[in-house]
Structure 1
């Protein structure tokens, strides 16, 4: 259903899914004063009156954050092949130069810079596990929980049904590996003109092009690394495959786009 002039839109930007381009494309449909400035999980710091002023919210939000937004906002998110997402995060963090890490006190990059990939994947520290252990699935659960033994805060047999049910109720979603289809489906469901071109805002995973980063060696994926990646994505892989199948279904059923101006 098309986004009305009074409805709000939320982009739940899961880290390292390629969401920066999508954020910018969505943002272009809203006047600056209608865009919430919060890009991290701090919506609870805003009053209801403040949140009511905005019609576009985009950030690293989970369901607890989204629940802070008044009304019934339409929700969009983007998925990425889960193992590729973890590897992207590791090399993104590891690519930061030491002087940048120290100057900005970047905890995640500091740990990644000091570790080999296998050690990183096995690390139990709270600065790492919430960023790599079935993150996409946890984001769609009622609460983002990573217990002492990596529990989900709910019975594990309920984890995937809960996540897929929330996904089914989203206005629209997509996957990085099918970016053009993703944009076409989302824009069609929101009732917007599809972009003539889809800009690339970053050279994906080539982090050394940025002044604060440097080239790092990519490690071979050994059987032990593959085993850890399997463990860390056991639910995310199922969720991702479900999203891919549902995207194909939605692609076949979206209506022809109707002319629509940007929100003023």
Structure 2
């Protein structure tokens, strides 16, 4: 793998999970803390101390020196990504939104789905992330074709790409391409907005905001309008992804074989630990049964002695006569 890795994390594409997995191949001091689109504001000296850059970056805002390193990204069906973003923002608690001043989340929470969609621009997330240079002529057909071709060139230049809907294959493909060990399992994680902290999905989400809106013809029309450009790029990304996986087949197959062997070894180790624990449990059970048996014998002897004592108290003369006979003998 080249010295540095840049992960272009498009929102709601499983990027936080992939960030977490990739970060395990780097020391904490090698991971750039910048998770938003401000790499250009960092000087060369600051950038040089890090090896892993991961965040909501647009390619045009990634310093050229980093673009020549390993760059990866994951893409998702544009309609599903847009809906996921809406419900994610809508699910944040009001306390959290107000505390961190997340205005776009407040808009989503105050809006129904159709109203929110009508307030979005039609430059898709993929196009905005990959088109170089900057997008500044919205709506013109010439601009659209040029921007899409620019984004396609950028997509082809990426070291590896992934598809959200094929996330397990994506994880294996990206790790294999980078020469990294494929993780045995993935955990769904997401970043807490406004904090930059990554973790397993939890608060600050409001379970009462889980209402799903019916996808009416009007909503479908808005989704089509908003994702027209990104749909072309997403379809292209799937073609590239399958081509990359096919071309990377031998490397990926070897990596998956190593993964299977590692999982098998870990499974055997777990089974061995289980058998050992089972054996120890059986030994403890036998020892317990012996102890219980000895306890029962002791209790039986105690009961016999107690009965003899009670008998002696009730019929003391019998024991006096018996003692006298013993003396005479």
TM-score by length of 2: 0.68
Q: Which residue of 2 aligns with 1:137?
A: 127
Aligned pairs for 1:168-247 within 5 A: 168-201=156-189, 210-216=203-209, 217-247=211-241
Question: In the aligned structure 1, how far is the partner of 2:88 from the partner of 2:67?
Answer: 36
Please identify which structure carries the higher helix content. Answer: 2
Q: CA deviation at 1:234?
A: 0.6
1:95 paired with 2:91, answer yes
Q: 1:208 touches 1:215 (CA, 8 Å); kept in 2?
A: no
Q: Is residue 50 of structure 2 the alignment partner of residue 54 of structure 1?
A: yes
> Is the contact between residue 40 and residue 62 of structure 2 (CA under 8 Å) also seen in structure 1?
no
RMSD over aligned Cα atoms: 2.3
Structure 2 gap ranges (5+): 191-199, 259-329
TM-score using structure 1 length: 0.84
**Do 2:188 and 2:201's aligned partners in 1 also have CA atoms closer than 8 Å?**
no
Q: Which residue of 1 aligns with 2:27?
A: 31
How many residue pairs get matched? 243
For 1:197, what is the secondary structure of its paired residue? coil
CA contact (8 A) 2:26 2:52 kept: yes
Which ranges of structure 1 fall in alignment gaps of 5 or more residues?
Answer: 260-264
Higher relative contact order (CA 8 A, sep 6+): 1
User: Alpha-carbon deviations, 1:219-239, whole Å to 9, x = none?
Assistant: 000111101100111111111
Q: CA shift at 1:110, angstroms?
A: 0.7
Tell me the distance in 2 between the aligned counterparts of 1:77 and 1:100: 29
Tell me if structure 1 keeps the 8 A contact 2:96–2:204: no
Shift of 1:214: 3.0
